[in-house]
Structure 1
Amino acid sequence: MIIVIRSLIFYVGMWLFTIPFTFVALCTFCLSPINRNKFISLWAKFMLKWLQVTCNLTFTVSGIENIPSSPCIIFSKHQSAWETLALQKIFPPQVWVLKRELLWLPFFGWGLAMTSPIAIDRGAGRKSLDQILTQGIDRIKKGFFVVIFPEGTRSKPLESGKYHIGGAWLATQSRLDVIPVAHNAGFYWPKNSFIKKPGEIKVIIGKSIKSKDLKSDQLNGLAKNWIEETMLKINV
């Protein structure tokens, strides 16, 4: 019962903070994309602290030394909404590849739109790759890291979905390294669950995977193998 109450307090506090913060964030349109992104990421950092206070949910990071100083492509396991918060604290200013419908959500979507995301039309088929490449290169030139959830949607713990080619295509075309990320957030913040369980989420950042001289499917396979093998170690 206490977990339910703590989870409720978390959500109440989240919305009490999110609504006014969104209106403040909308006033940052005059800032540069990077500075606007840095300001809006304060929301995620506050939510992580609030999650710790209300639900006693923390995290540790291994491999922080593998994060480069210049932009790269981040391939992250996707199990919950938690990693969309934590990656903003762990990595430098970043943009995400996401479905454009998310930008239509009240408050959350409005703030998200201000972070310069790579918003794609999933129903566009092959054209979505062009959207990822065109927008991705533009964001990289502006100094952003690019976050890809290659499975496209959240998976349950111990499950592995298909790794789509879009992120690897962007990496090979831009000749940027891929940084793989594994974590076990799904055990504590399950997919589509109201409950937030107490504990310590483990995040592991792998060494960079060079995209030079690799085909997109080869790069995708290397990233998938590292992430899924590391997931098995975390889940033991």
Structure 2
Amino acid sequence: MMLILGILFAPLALVSKSGAKFACKVYCAWVLWSARWMVGIKTEIRGTIPTNEVVVASKHQSFLDILILFGHMPWPKFIMKRELMWTPVIGLYAKRLGCVPVNRGKGGAAIAKMVQDVAKEFAEPGQLVIYPQGTRVAPGAHKPYKIGAAVLYEQLNQPCIPVATNVGLFWPRTGILRKPGTAVVEFLDPIPAGLPKPDFMKILEDRVEARSNALMKEAGFDPNGLHQHN
């Protein structure tokens, strides 16, 4: 369906950024609807969906949390690995939407380029979505938070909305197996602008990890490695 819709909407996407956004919204709606009736994955949004210009720092467990975030925010722009910008369909729409590519192997140079590109794309309103762990992380796995989220938070001088999720329990980061259940994405209380980077990083990680763990336990999974009974 990504290929079909991507081709169908390509002429509109090429002449209109709003057209590209509409196409992606249609795709997200189709996937969330079909996941519900085909395999029993219900999706739920909790918290206040941001509509202003903010940094959204989200737990990332699978492709599903991308679709939920994009489907519900007015104009999200994702920080994404550069390789995806050259893939069919995804690359075209990512460029039109104002997503920002990052070369993850370049360290400090990549962060500097990311900040420069973000400043350019934020000439137009939107919500900047970054995955502070840098990649998809399976439920129960541990991966450190990277400094890129703090750099953007400081440079943009905007509030940050942390986001927790449990979607990886139902739509894993790899493979084709899908499991029925309620996949939740939760927008947490904003972190105000202006905090020192170390303080920001600690608050962000503590909030996102604690709430994601709670959502996973709510779904019957112990993130420390023990499954619980529903």
Please indicate, yes or no, whether the TM-score normalized by the shorter chain is above 0.5.
yes
CA distance in 2, matches of 1:109, 1:69: 25
CA distance in 2, matches of 1:91, 1:100: 23
The one-character-per-residue Cα deviations of 1:52-108 (angstroms, maximum 9, x if unpaired) are: 1211111122212xx343110111111111111110122221111011101222233
Paired residue secondary structure (1:209): coil
CA distance in 2, matches of 1:133, 1:38: 27
Which residue of the partner structure matches residue 222 of structure 2? none
Q: What is the RMSD of the two structures over their aligned residues, measured on CA atoms?
A: 1.7
Percent sequence identity is 23
Assess if the C-alpha contact under 8 Å between 1:40 and 1:115 holds in 2: no
Distance 1:202 1:40, change over 3 A: closer
Unaligned runs of 5+ in 1: 1-16
2:29 matched to 1:45?
A: yes
Higher mean C-alpha displacement, 176-185 vs 128-137: 128-137
Which structure has more helix as a fraction of its residues? 1
Give the C-alpha shift of residue 18 in structure 1: 1.9
Paired residue secondary structure (2:42): strand
Give the partner amino acid of 1:48: L
Paired residue secondary structure (1:161): coil
Which residue of the partner structure matches residue 197 of structure 1? 179
CA distance in 2, matches of 1:136, 1:82: 24
For normalisation by structure 1, the TM-score amounts to: 0.85
Report how many aligned residue pairs link the two structures: 216
CA distance in 2, matches of 1:225, 1:58: 27
For normalisation by structure 2, the TM-score amounts to: 0.87
CA distance in 2, matches of 1:150, 1:220: 9
Give the C-alpha shift of residue 178 in structure 1: 0.5
CA distance in 1, matches of 2:121, 2:22: 14
Give the partner amino acid of 2:201: N
The one-character-per-residue Cα deviations of 1:167-200 (angstroms, maximum 9, x if unpaired) are: 2211111111110111101110112121111111
